[in-house]
Amino acid sequence: MKLKTIAMSLGLIAFGTAALAPHANAEGAFPNRPLMLAAAQNHHGVGTVTQIDRKGRRVELKHGPIKSIGWMAMTMFFEVEDADLLDEIEVGDEVDFDFIETRDKRYVITDIETRG
Ligand SMILES: [Cu+2]
């Protein structure tokens, strides 16, 4: 039966998505699900390093527009996933960087390197 097969597939998809939410019970699976999916997306940007805050484990970048997240150009701080990433850069460097948006709206760089 074709319809039955589709229904079973949807059931499996729903189950699989719920299984991906590690804090589903604590936070409520359904309201947080769209943010969970957003957190998985990797964004890429290009910018200039304007400040490095080693204690705060973050870097301020003057970045260009980033369409994948709907941002205009701006200057802002990003956290870094690994503090060692801050050793790769200096103030004034032009950089390529990848980052994610967490469920609680933090922007965390997963990779950064000087251009050229
Ligand atoms: Cu920004």
CA dist., res. 51 & res. 29, Å (int): 37
CA dist., res. 99 & res. 26, Å (int): 26
Q: Domain coordinates of the chain in residue numbers?
A: 2-38, 42-114
- CA–centroid distance, residue 63 to ligand 1 (Å): 6
What's the pLDDT tens digit per position in 1-50? 455 544 444 444 444 444 444 434 444 455 555 545 544 689 999 999 99
What pLDDT is attached to residue 96?
Answer: 98
DSSP 90: -
Task: Go through the chain and tell me how many residues it has.
Answer: 116
DSSP 1: -
- Residue pair 54/109 in contact (Cβ under 8 Å)? The answer is no
CATH superfamily of 42-114: Copper binding periplasmic protein CusF (2.40.50.320)
Greatest distance between any 2 Cα atoms in the chain:
63
What's the pLDDT tens digit per position in 49-77? 999 999 999 999 999 999 999 999 999 99
- CA–centroid distance, residue 72 to ligand 1 (Å): 7
- Residue pair 23/29 in contact (Cβ under 8 Å)? The answer is no
Closest to 109 measured CA to CA, from 75, 71, 60, 73: 60
19: helix, coil or strand?
helix
- CA–centroid distance, residue 77 to ligand 1 (Å): 8
- CA–centroid distance, residue 19 to ligand 1 (Å): 32
What pLDDT is attached to residue 71?
Answer: 97
